[in-house]
Amino acid sequence: EPEVTQTPSHQVTQMGQEVILRCVPISNHLYFYWYRQILGQKVEFLVSFYNNEISEKSEIFDDQFSVERPDGSNFTLKIRSTKLEDSAMYFCASDGLKETQYFGPGTRLLVL
Amino acid sequence: LAKTTQPISMDSYEGQEVNITCSHNNIATNDYITWYQQFPSQGPRFIIQGYKTKVTNEVASLFIPADRKSSTLSLPRVSLSDTAVYYCLVGPAVDSSYKLIFGSGTRLLVRP
């Protein structure tokens, strides 16, 4: 069964540093998403991406965040200057229309 | 997006059938009902999706009454590995991309 993959599985960084979280969506999927889940809290939508541009973004997705599809397979989330409150699990998801969203295993980000 | 209400937690024993009910009084005509499962430190995993009546797959059944204001996820003969958080989501038709709005879900604990 095809799956969404994410790297790294864990990332520890210092406050103020830039991080890039990487995702490889399912190959024939067209829509891509990032969600995050702070420990013990709900899964929150960050951004959706289609046709090389952002379709929708939440209030969380401020100027510190950016997404990119640098090639035909990867989908990245960049946090320019991390804050303590960015510590969370970050999930990438993709869907190919006619289906529901498939989630990756997540990247656990810890900002110190 | 329609708001959903589901129990915060449920307990069960191995081998029992578990039914988790979700209320969605404001469901729209083009909304589908989707259930996801999430294990600790993993991404949500799609279980089942339906529009009306009954849907069954190898994992679960989904019962949706005629008024569609509620739905029931049925897990037959649960095992310890079914211990997870179960989310009921309501959203637009399956052939359109949309952000998923997760609630707090139902935390199911399966005991030996």
Residues of B in contact with A95 (CB under 8 A): 97
Give A46-55 pLDDT, tens digit per residue: 999 988 899 9
- Residue from the list A30, A31, A106 with its beta carbon closest to the beta carbon of B42: A106
Determine whether the interchain pair B100/A91 forms a contact, defined as Cβ–Cβ distance below 8 Å.
Answer: no
pLDDT of residue B30: 85
> Measured between CB atoms, which of A44, A100, A108 is closest to B34?
A100
What is the C-alpha separation between B49 and B57, in angstroms, rounded?
10
- Nearest-angstrom CA–CA distance, A16 and A47: 22
Token pair for B27: 């469901």
Check whether domain B9-95 has CATH 2.60.40.10, yes or no: yes
Residues A66-96: pLDDT tens digits? 999 988 789 999 999 999 999 999 999 998 7
Question: Which region, left, alpha or beta, applies to residue B41 given φ > 0 means left and ψ of -120 to 50 means alpha?
Answer: left
List chain A domain ranges.
Answer: 5-102
Q: Domain A5-102 belongs to what architecture?
A: Sandwich (2.60)
Q: List Cα–Cα distances, B79 to A79, B57, B60, in angstroms.
A: 40, 17, 13
Asked if the C-beta of A105 comes within 8 angstroms of chain B's C-beta atoms, the answer is yes
Does pLDDT of B57 surpass 60?
Answer: yes
| B45 vs A55, A56, A103: nearest CB | A103
A99: pLDDT strictly greater than 90: no
Cβ pair B4, B105 in contact under 8 A: no
Q: B91 to chain A: nearest residue by CA?
A: A100
CA distances from A22 to A51, A85, A96, B61 (A): 18, 20, 19, 34
State the Cα–Cα distance between residues B77 and A80, nearest whole angstrom.
47
> B96: pLDDT confidence band, cut at 50, 70 and 90?
low
Hey, what amino acid is at B56?
T
CB contact under 8 A, B41 and A55: no
Quote the CA–CA distance of B70 and B59 in Å, as a whole number. Answer: 20
pLDDT digit string (tens) for B18-48? Answer: 999 999 999 999 889 999 999 988 999 999 9
Pairing of strands B106-111, A5-7: unpaired
